[in-house]
Amino acid sequence: MSNDYPAPGLFIAGEWIRSGRPEALPVLNPATEEQIGLLPVATTDDLSRAVASTRRGFEAWSRVSGFDRGQVLRKAAALMRERAESIARAMTLEHGKPLTEARQEANAAADIIEWFAEEARRTYGRQIPARLPGVMQVVFKQPIGPVAAFSPWNFPINQATRKIAAAVAAGCSIILKGPEETPASCCGLVAAFIDAGLPPDVVNLVFGHPAEISEYLIAHPVIRKISFTGSTAVGRRLSEIAGRHLKRTTMELGGHAPVLIFADADLERAVQVLVAAKYRNAGQICISPTRFLVAAEVMEEFTARFVAGVKALKVGDGLDEGTQVGPLAHDRRVTALEALIADAAQKGARVECGGNRLGNRGFFFAPTVLSGVTPAMRIMNEEPFGPVALLASFNTEEEALAEANRLDVGLGAYAFTRSSRNASRAINGIESGMVSVNHQGLVFPELPFGGIGDSGDGKEGGTEAMEPYLITRFSTHLTE
Ligand code: NAD
């Protein structure tokens, strides 16, 4: 085991449990496939204690003022910044992403927490003018209750932060099921909240068998709200359970982001932005640019420039200086990508670069570009969630928009053009929750991150992000 990988654990009712559970899961370094840690698995008794704790946590925390909640969040943000280096190192060891990206993620978590610290005191209601004299009608917001949240491994702390910070800012308590593949950085995040003075019952952290935990928590009467980030298939399953119990949900699910490159685009800029955006986190991002729809006039030039940019990327261990693309986070992605690329190649796609696993130790995958892709290929329909860009040309704007909107998912989308007309056609014509034109700018905490259709429902940023954690009530008071 790696001696600088912090032992991950469960955090239940204010107590860290790092061993002593009947079952534990191995945590691997995806760059070496070595076991670096052991993660205790929550038992039903642990879940029951977490629920009792979160009930107590809600009773106390929901009475704390928004101002005071914000103060605790601010301290948690400061601790995240102070600890960014050690949390980032743990994240790179367990996830594989380059250390620079892990550092950015730890610091971005602090930004997100600060955004919610500010929002904590802005859960405004309103007064509605009454029909009758002497009547005062007031609408007010209150925290919805204890939350069960499920966060994935691709951004081990960013995804968890959006859930914990919003819930805590709104006055809710939360039980987070963190990512089993990448637990230690998520533990670091929870520790920052606790060390900042958050009462321990307000946050519980569990890991284990996802289906067992989600079925237990979603159905439990104490839990009032569900938040999940992950695949559409799992989101659908959890929504079904939540629907049966009439629980409110936020679902951040998969995408398959289209990128429209118009003939008048600044190709140099487009390539610079898109190589960085596509291969960041080895492409394991729900808003990763994926279906590149390129105007036929510039297809050849764009392809040549883009492929040259991709070939220059340095793949390696995330801890090594200069690494730009780390390994995939686990072997499931390697197997999935190999199958998707083989299917595409067999149906006529051209492998411009990459296309295969690298080496035989670690889950490295070559940054890949496929051209000549068609809707008949699985990869044009299933989210690759890896370092693969798919290039197809278009002749008319209608054709490009039809392909962009062909799938039921609609999360991120991109367009590159110098014309405001094309930009506005893309912004209005692409069916997605978010569109970024001429740059990558979708993820700041003040922006309402989220998708439509099969990409889910609910926002995890912006002023909209508090609403899912609040209930709206009103009083009408005859004062005379
Ligand atoms: P998966 O569908 O098995 O799991 C996705 C996530 O959901 C994981 O974090 C997993 O722990 C969790 N999960 C699975 N079953 C669950 C259950 N019954 N209850 C609660 N949580 C459950 O797939 P995977 O191999 O881990 O990831 C691959 C796919 O997941 C990708 O292709 C991508 O589409 C999607 N994904 C999306 C995001 C995102 O940011 N939207 C993040 C991670 C994964």
Which residue type does 466 have? Answer: M
Alpha-helix residue ranges (DSSP H) falling in 288-440: 299-311, 331-346, 397-404, 420-429
Residue 233 CA, ligand 1 centroid: distance in Å: 8
- Assess contact for 7 and 27: CB atoms under 8 A: no
Residues of the chain with pLDDT under 70: 1-3
Does the C-beta of 417 come closer than 6 Å to ligand 1? no
Q: Give backbone dihedrals phi and psi of 207, rounded to 5 degrees, phi first.
A: -135, 160
* Burial of 124: CB neighbours in 10 Å, binned 0-12, 13-18, 19+: exposed
**Which residues have CB under 8 Å from 7's CB, separation 6+?**
18, 19, 37, 38, 184
Does the C-beta of 101 come closer than 6 Å to ligand 1? no
Active site includes 286? yes
Three-state secondary-structure class, residue 435: strand
Does the C-beta of 385 come closer than 6 Å to ligand 1? yes
Does the C-beta of 383 come closer than 6 Å to ligand 1? yes
Which residue of 209, 234, 286 sits with most ligand 1 atoms within 8 Å of its CB, as the best mutation to test the pocket? 234
**pLDDT tens sequence across 172-222:** 999 999 999 999 999 999 999 999 999 999 999 999 999 999 999 999 999
Does the C-beta of 210 come closer than 6 Å to ligand 1? yes
Domain boundaries, the chain: 10-253+456-474, 257-445
Catalytic residue among 252, 383, 460, 467: 252
Residue 183 CA, ligand 1 centroid: distance in Å: 15
Provide the pLDDT for residue 1: 56
The protein residue with its alpha carbon nearest to ligand 1, atom 35, reads 231
Residue 75 CA, ligand 1 centroid: distance in Å: 31
Catalytic residue among 101, 181, 286, 383: 286
Residue 174 CA, ligand 1 centroid: distance in Å: 20
**Which residues have CB under 8 Å from 348's CB, separation 6+?**
372, 374
Whole-model pTM: value is 0.97
DSSP letter, residue 362: S
CA 102 to the chain's CA centroid: 14
As a whole number of angstroms, the distance between CA 318 and CA 323 comes to 6
Q: β-strands 24-28, 35-40: how paired?
A: antiparallel
**Which residues have CB under 8 Å from 34's CB, separation 6+?**
2, 28
Provide the pLDDT for residue 23: 96
- Assess contact for 39 and 183: CB atoms under 8 A: yes
The protein residue with its alpha carbon nearest to ligand 1, atom 21, reads 210
The protein residue with its alpha carbon nearest to ligand 1, atom 7, reads 230
Distances in whole angstroms, Cα of residue 450 to Cα of each of 175, 385, 433, 462: 22, 17, 6, 10
Provide the pLDDT for residue 3: 64
Nearest to 279 by CA among 249, 234, 312, 236: 312
Domain 257-445 has CATH 1.20.140.10: no
Does the C-beta of 252 come closer than 6 Å to ligand 1? yes
Does the C-beta of 229 come closer than 6 Å to ligand 1? yes
Provide the pLDDT for residue 2: 55
**pLDDT tens sequence across 216-274:** 999 999 999 999 999 999 999 999 999 999 999 999 999 999 999 999 999 999 999 99
Q: Which residues pair with 227 in a beta bridge?
A: 149, 250
The protein residue with its alpha carbon nearest to ligand 1, atom 37, reads 230
As a whole number of angstroms, the distance between CA 147 and CA 168 comes to 10
- Assess contact for 2 and 36: CB atoms under 8 A: yes
Provide the pLDDT for residue 480: 83
As a whole number of angstroms, the distance between CA 266 and CA 187 comes to 43
Q: Per-residue DSSP letters for 251-285? A: EE----EEEEE-TTS-HHHHHHHHHHHHHGGGG--
Domain 10-253+456-474 has CATH 3.40.50.2000: no
